[in-house]
Amino acid sequence: MNSLGHKLKTIREFKNFTQDYVSDKLGMSTAGYGKIERDEVDVPYSRLEQISKVFKMKIEDIISFDEKVVFNIMNNQIGIKDLNLNNSKLSDRERELYEKNIKLLEEKISFLEKLNEK
């Protein structure tokens, strides 16, 4: 099970927010917010309420957030696992970067679709 800090970091990255942006919205230092993401401090409920407003998510959705679910939904919807990149003329490194970028974009799409459903 992922920690709250890990979930906050993952959600922040899905939303393309920087730590600077989030910490500014929360009225705290970037270093202070970084400690939250690294689980170096306990997060009071009041702070979690503020974070949920910045992320435009319900607190329970943040707490129950599971990136594996996002990956599974993404794979089922887009079917990227069926792509065959082995027959292309890409180098191994290019193929790796291409696949990584596809995965990140799929994750972002799925996450945004899930947010729009609420």
Residue 6 phi/psi, 5-degree rounding, is -65, -40
Query: What's the CA gap between 11 and 115, in Å, rounded?
Result: 11
Q: What is the pLDDT of residues 23-44, one digit of tens each?
A: 999 999 999 999 999 999 999 9
Residues 44 and 28 reside in one and the same domain: yes
Residues 71 and 37 in one domain: no
Are residues 40 and 75 both part of a single domain?
A: no
53 and 74 housed in the same domain: no
Sign of CA dihedral 54, 38, 65, 77: positive
Domain residue limits at 34 = 4-63
54 and 83 share a domain? no
How far apart CA 22 and CA 107 sit, in angstroms, is 21
Q: Are residues 59 and 72 in the same domain?
A: no
State the pTM of this model.
0.60
Count of structural domains, the chain: 2
Residues 75 and 47 in one domain: no
Residue 89: per-residue pLDDT: 64
